[in-house]
Structure 1
Amino acid sequence: MSGTSSPGGFEAADALKHSNSRVKQEDLPKNLSMVSIMGLSFAIMAVPFGLSTTLSLSLTNGQSVTVLWGWVLVSLISLGIAASLAEICAVYPTAGGVYYWSAMLSTPKYRALASWITGWLTLVGNWTVTLSICFSTGQLFLSAISIFIEDYVPNTWQTVLMFWAVMAVCTGVNAFFSKHLNLLNTICMIWTAASVLIFLIVLLVTAKQRNTASYVFAHYDATASGYPSGWSFFVGLLQAAYTLTGYGMVASLCEEVQNPHREVPKAMVLSVLMAGLTGIVYIIPLLFVLPEVKIILSVANGQPIGLIFTMVTGSKAGGMGLLALILVIALFAGTGALTAASRCTFAFARDGAIPGSRWWSQYNYRLNVPLYGLLLSSAICCLLGLIYFGSNAAFQSFVGVATICLSTSYGFPILVNILNKRKAVARSTFSLGKFGYFINIATVVWIILSVVLFCMPVSIPVEAAGMNYASVVFMGFAVVSVVWYAVRGRGRFKGPEEVFIEGVDEYSGASSRGGDEEVAVESKDLTHK
């Protein structure tokens, strides 16, 4: 892998020459560290923000038991998925991430198709995660107004315009401050940890009434959902599953990290572990001071966290102060998600798998960012936000499709790895050892179940305006993917850039080298063929 470089190292003429060129992985600046990648993953998951914006989902489907124990359950499952992906990432560290891994783990006959399917799942997942984060951030900003103007209810246009404003901020930070992303990700981890500590202290100190330990750890009520009691619990797991999805997205930055086969796998697993513990520390005090659930679920735009903070502290200023901490975390999350989405778009376009790949596969060295991939990701998110005009449950749809796409994209290479008897990861520098089969199989079973669960409406009976349109958005992108594969991909797409790895069998990926010895990688760009 090449050494550290930065746009500042180019002469002006050279920078202009390279500003809009196709690049290979060894050309990208290696200016991100393991801590930065872990911070990015942690920023995308944005635990206090993710749990706060989806709180109504779990309160509708089980209340305390679903919120707390659902979080614990999904955290353990996510840790298994992250470890399974990290094991593969240690063998194939590249910006293609899971779609590249699916290709390399598959037999030559199905390599192109496997990478195409996984790539589109990853791409749509990255876009819709960014969409859901920025959309709920816009809703949170508007909910701050209702703290001071109690009868204020934002209309559809105000919500969409605020969402677009958040998208503009996140796009601007990515475009013009990319060289500071390392610092921003570190600040995000510190800010999140400090915020959780502040929530813990302020909520417990200021609350005039507290719920019992029995309520926090054992209260279960799913009557608001309309579903059978047991099924409702699983539908409510969308809150935790959505929050804990960002760890696999950071694989798209492998090519901007030195020694990614060691650093990125560690960052993925550690970020999930940190997120799981952070969630527990945030959830327990929140449940101890939680107001009456009926009041929370009656909030017009479905974002009750500002109201909760205000009621608990007994002060509008106090409620706004705590909400401000969440809003900053939200902006970090939106920026981080868009960073990952733009890199994913760039990597997939580099292999000719997206309409207009010539544009989206260009890299701007002056700004140190795949600029057109960034702009495409932002535009797609902004357009999908218009769904809100047709459904007041649009946010749940965005959350659902993001979770489904990312989960299935994670599961595909894990499944192929199982079918190939885990030969490719036999000498991974991040090995799961004798527990590998059990962890891999358990995660695949969960992912299959989650696809069914997260297409369900939050509650029943349901009308058109409150329907979960996750399956509709999912199928819409599926149609685009299939049509583009028939038009261009079937005869020309050969999978991601060919990578020849010393000591690795071409088809099984089984390495003859072990330990922490760095694998030499030579990339060959096929996009010019």
Structure 2
Amino acid sequence: MNTTALPDMKPEERFSIEELDHEGKANATAKGGTPNDDREMHRMGKVQELRRNFKFLGIVGFVSILQSSWEGALQSSYFGLLNGGRGGIIWCTIAVWLFMLCLLASMAEMASMAPTAGGQYHWVSEFAPRKYQGSLSYVVGWCCCLGWISGVPACAYQLAGLVQAMILLVNPDADFVAPWKITLFLFLFLFLTVGFNIYFAGHLPLAEGIVLFLHVFAFFAFLLTLWIMADHAPAKEVFTTFYDGGGWGNKGLSCLVGLTSPIWCFIGPDAGAHMSEELKNASLQLPRAMIWATVANGVMGIAMIITFCFCITDLEQLLSLETDFPIINIIQNATGSFAGTCVLGSVLVILLFFSTVTTIASASRQTWAFSRDQGFPFSSWIRYVPPTWEIPLNALLVCLGVSLILGAINFGSNTAFNAITSVSNAALIFSYIISVGCIRLKRLRGEPLLPRRWSLGNWGGLINDLALAFLFVGFVFSFFPQGPAVGDPEWATNFNWAIIIFAGICLVAFVYYVLGGRKRYVAPVSLVKQE
């Protein structure tokens, strides 16, 4: 048995493999691991610091609640309806789901090979060409952390927007339109959801299982309410009518710009991977949970978006409302009751609250894992896990701080949600492109892959190719604004600032890497044991 180490690692930064051998096995057993978990952590040279509280049902609930596909279809539909209309958002949602299944299958296979909280950057470190293992995994680590952390304020913004929509529905004259008021609600939800992750972390698997049942039962409650009580548009109009509300001059281009909405409904298939060090028998249960959750979520999400579009009888009137969450008005029109609307709206708030909780959990684990490998400044502080808490407390505080900064964008622009969701989509998609690209390259070169308990077999190459083709399109259109800025005097307000945020974070990462990060960063492959 031997190990490899990066040539630019300082001696004091090289982990003692002998210590990891002993401590890793002991901790994995003491913290709920199985023999397979012991062996995989041992191979990756990692110490078991977190307790393995999750089992199969809990992780299915975790991934399902985080994606919240049918809830997302109702809550984040505005941008897709504006750019694409009813026909555009329906067909784009179906296409995105099918391609996401290819991406998910690719990532599930990698998760079975290396079930670690590091996820993409660890996989890139092991699967990339040897010359680029350190630098590529470093870039992917920063982008993955950006993608997950920026998803937190995006979820909190949706929570605040739903509350705003219900308030304006009941009291149209309420002074609750100003962006700063929504931002304060956003901050409130950030503190509440991070607090849940800190003080109720031990109950998170139980909570995910309970909310999973609410997720399923609420789906049928909304579906039946909208089908039975709402007025419906003709089927031909729903499936074949496209809309260019952004002013792109081409409905096909407009539909592509509107991809942000359906992608947001299915983004985060790697969520379970970042919890793999808290899952029992991860290399087998994690891929199965990822597949089951996304298949079920996709069916529910597509059924709900079709139902929702049937209930839109006047698209332009709906898009002219002061709120970006038209589902509240659709429910009120269907039920004719403010009380009934607020009850169903409150169910959406509860579900989205726990979706935000799970997003924070994934973001913190990703941040903790990357700091464990010295990827950030102050990594030794970020990676610290209080022994009595057994959660990455400091990483959670980092996620809270960065989310508050990103959420503050909403003070100056009412298009903040588009910018924040776009940068989350773009950063995560970039990490998917690199990780799937690395495994595809190994297949093209005929290089042996790591042993795995869940495999794509002979279909692996084709599935990887389909995933990559979709990811490139999604990455490009993640940076598009609602409409072209030519001749727009308020272009700065309507501009999609995601590209600036993404470029700025990449610049910070590059500067830190050049100024010393490359000497501190411990690429995961340097700890892997070649048996």
Q: What do residues 412-448 of structure 1 show as CA deviations (whole Å, max 9, x unaligned)?
A: 1110111122635364322112221111112112211
CA distance in 2, matches of 1:24, 1:88: 17
> Are 1:465 and 2:489 matched, yes or no?
no
Query: Comparing 444-453 with 170-179, which one deviates more in the overlay?
Result: 444-453
Alignment of 1:322-341 (within 5 A): 322-341=344-363
Instruction: Give the root-mean-square deviation of aligned CA atoms.
Output: 1.8
Unpaired segments of 5 or more residues in structure 1? 7-22, 504-529
Which of the numbers 466, 476, 490 marks the counterpart of 1:442? 466
Alignment of 1:6-45 (within 5 A): 24-45=46-67
CA contact (8 A) 1:3 1:258 kept: no
Pick closer, same or farther for the CA change 1:29–1:498 going to 2, 3 Å.
farther
Secondary structure in structure 1 of the residue aligned to 2:523? coil
CA distance in 2, matches of 1:451, 1:402: 11
Secondary structure in structure 1 of the residue aligned to 2:324? coil
Q: Letter of the 1:431 partner, please give it.
A: S
1:223 deviates by 4.6
Alignment of 1:407-486 (within 5 A): 407-421=429-443, 423-425=447-449, 427-461=451-485, 462=488, 463-486=491-514
Pick closer, same or farther for the CA change 1:354–1:224 going to 2, 3 Å.
closer
Secondary structure in structure 1 of the residue aligned to 2:528? strand
CA contact (8 A) 1:4 1:31 kept: no
1:351 deviates by 0.8
Pick closer, same or farther for the CA change 1:154–1:360 going to 2, 3 Å.
same
> Are 1:308 and 2:330 matched, yes or no?
yes
1:65 deviates by 1.5
1:460 deviates by 3.0
Q: Letter of the 2:343 partner, please give it.
A: G
Pick closer, same or farther for the CA change 1:224–1:469 going to 2, 3 Å.
closer
Q: Letter of the 2:286 partner, please give it.
A: V
CA contact (8 A) 1:25 1:94 kept: no
Secondary structure in structure 1 of the residue aligned to 2:312? coil
CA distance in 2, matches of 1:424, 1:182: 36
Q: What do residues 24-56 of structure 1 show as CA deviations (whole Å, max 9, x unaligned)?
A: 532321111122122111111112332223211
> Are 1:253 and 2:245 matched, yes or no?
no
Aligned counterpart, 2:6: none
> Are 1:166 and 2:192 matched, yes or no?
no
Alignment of 1:284-299 (within 5 A): 284-299=306-321
CA distance in 1, matches of 2:55, 2:512: 36
Aligned counterpart, 1:206: 229
Aligned counterpart, 2:31: 5
CA distance in 1, matches of 2:168, 2:48: 50
Aligned counterpart, 1:178: 201
CA contact (8 A) 1:48 1:326 kept: no
Secondary structure in structure 2 of the residue aligned to 1:3? helix
CA contact (8 A) 1:86 1:264 kept: yes
Secondary structure in structure 1 of the residue aligned to 2:130? coil
Where do 4+ consecutive residues of structure 1 move more than 4 Å?
none
CA distance in 2, matches of 1:101, 1:447: 17
1:343 deviates by 0.6
Give the structure with the higher percent helix: 2
CA contact (8 A) 2:70 2:297 kept: no
Unpaired segments of 5 or more residues in structure 2? 1-24, 33-44
1:138 deviates by 1.3
Aligned counterpart, 1:527: none
Pick closer, same or farther for the CA change 1:273–1:425 going to 2, 3 Å.
farther
Which of the numbers 345, 356, 360 marks the counterpart of 2:367? 345
CA contact (8 A) 2:126 2:133 kept: yes
TM-score, scaled relative to structure 2: 0.88
Query: Comparing 158-167 with 130-139, which one deviates more in the overlay?
Result: 130-139
CA distance in 2, matches of 1:291, 1:360: 51
CA contact (8 A) 1:42 1:246 kept: no
CA distance in 2, matches of 1:288, 1:449: 28
1:492 deviates by 2.8
CA contact (8 A) 1:291 1:308 kept: no
Which of the numbers 193, 201, 204 marks the counterpart of 2:216? 193
1:107 deviates by 3.0
Q: Letter of the 2:31 partner, please give it.
A: S
CA distance in 2, matches of 1:97, 1:224: 36
Q: Letter of the 1:340 partner, please give it.
A: S
Q: What do residues 113-156 of structure 1 show as CA deviations (whole Å, max 9, x unaligned)?
A: 01101101110001011121112111211221111111334212
> Are 1:321 and 2:321 matched, yes or no?
no
Aligned counterpart, 1:63: 85
1:502 deviates by 6.0
* Percent of matched pairs sharing the same residue: 27
Aligned counterpart, 2:399: 377
Q: Letter of the 1:133 partner, please give it.
A: C
Query: Comparing 333-342 with 477-486, which one deviates more in the overlay?
Result: 477-486
CA distance in 2, matches of 1:337, 1:89: 18
CA contact (8 A) 1:93 1:261 kept: yes
CA distance in 1, matches of 2:313, 2:173: 19
1:497 deviates by 6.7
TM-score, scaled relative to structure 1: 0.88
Aligned counterpart, 2:177: 154
CA distance in 2, matches of 1:150, 1:472: 36
> Are 1:275 and 2:301 matched, yes or no?
no
Q: Letter of the 1:288 partner, please give it.
A: F
Query: Comparing 398-407 with 284-293, which one deviates more in the overlay?
Result: 284-293
CA distance in 2, matches of 1:272, 1:318: 30
Q: Letter of the 2:494 partner, please give it.
A: G
